[in-house]
Structure 1
Amino acid sequence: MHSLSVRVYYEDTDLAGIVYYANYLRFIERARSEWLRTLGVDQAAMKAKSGRVFAVRRVEADYLRPARFDDLLKIGTVLVQITAARIVVDQAVRRDGATLFQARVTVACLDGAGRPVRLPGIVTRALTRPAGPVEK
């Protein structure tokens, strides 16, 4: 499992002082990007080299408890499934071990015209390699 820490800033909250619901999607997006980066997947280079990008196809989300200004959150990302053109992950936002938000996210690989395409080999290898240090 990959974990990313995020601090809640005032700009993340609504009038009630709790994290605005759509900002959880931003938090988990950052966590997925950092997860891929730690696996050695450079999304900018992937786009430049092959024209392939990732796009969220589906999100199933549960809002369980509110996060508030200045909370330190941990966003966990776990691979659930990989297919030829999709990645499915479970993500959870936690504060002090308590789950505040959880989601299952399906990400599709697309070409420059927005059509589904196979995941690049570097992504498949990164996601299926045994856990351990990232090769340089």
Structure 2
Amino acid sequence: MFTNTTRVEIQFGDCDPAGIVYYPNYFRFFDNATAGMLSAAFGMHKRNWLQHYGIAGIPMVDTGARFIRPSSFGDLVEIKSEITELGRSSFSVQHSLFKDGELAIEAHEKRVWVVRDDQGGIRSAPLPDQVRQLLSAEAESAERTEND
């Protein structure tokens, strides 16, 4: 399935008083990595694919992580993100964060493809065939840096 690698330079504001990344910031990194992966798969920026596919978003319905090694201000980490499962209206992503070439965090997330309903709320919608095809592809995009 589709994979993408994102490089992130850890900023001072990402860290807690102990000098290591405050754990919720990893989930922000993973959210950005998922958006970057989908942008690479779809060949367009998130603001464009939201409009192109007519969706309200891709909210997360499940997530978790296993923290192995901490990261600190100034570290350059790589996040390899991979689509691991395609459901009717959902998809799963596995993130592997590497620091100095060693696995530092394993994380997963499940997201749902949602559209606006007639009452202004949101509801799940089936993944379009084109999206399913693109996310099933065996491809690795060029690395990108979050701060670019």
Return the alpha-carbon distance in structure 1 between the equivalents of residues 55 and 31 of structure 2.
Answer: 20
Of 95, 115, 126, the residue aligned with 1:118 is 126
Return the alpha-carbon distance in structure 2 between the equivalents of residues 86 and 41 of structure 1.
Answer: 20
Name the structure 1 match of 2:11.
9
* Paired letter, 1:37: S
CA deviations on 1:74-124 (whole Å, 9 max, x unpaired) are 001011100110111110111012122111110111112221111233311
SS in 2 for 1:53: coil
TM-score between both structures, scaled by the size of structure 1: 0.88
* Paired letter, 1:9: Q
Matched ranges for 1:1-136 at <5 A: 1-40=3-42, 42=44, 43-49=46-52, 50-112=54-116, 113-131=121-139
| Larger RCO, structures 1/2 (Cα 8 Å, 6+ apart) | 2
* Paired letter, 1:32: T
Cα contact 2:114–2:122 (8 A) shared by 1: yes
Return the alpha-carbon distance in structure 2 between the equivalents of residues 2 and 51 of structure 1.
Answer: 22
1:41 Cα deviation after fit = 5.3
Moved over 4 A (4+): none
How many residues align? The count is: 133
| RMSD over equivalenced CA pairs, Å | 1.8
1:47 Cα deviation after fit = 3.1
Cα contact 2:39–2:49 (8 A) shared by 1: no
How has the CA–CA distance of structure 1 residues 13 and 40 changed in structure 2, closer, same or farther, with 3 Å as cutoff?
A: same
* Paired letter, 2:126: R
Return the alpha-carbon distance in structure 2 between the equivalents of residues 91 and 63 of structure 1.
Answer: 12
Identity of aligned residues (%): 24
TM-score between both structures, scaled by the size of structure 2: 0.81
Segment of structure 1 superposing worse, 112-121 or 123-132: 123-132
How has the CA–CA distance of structure 1 residues 103 and 95 changed in structure 2, closer, same or farther, with 3 Å as cutoff?
A: same
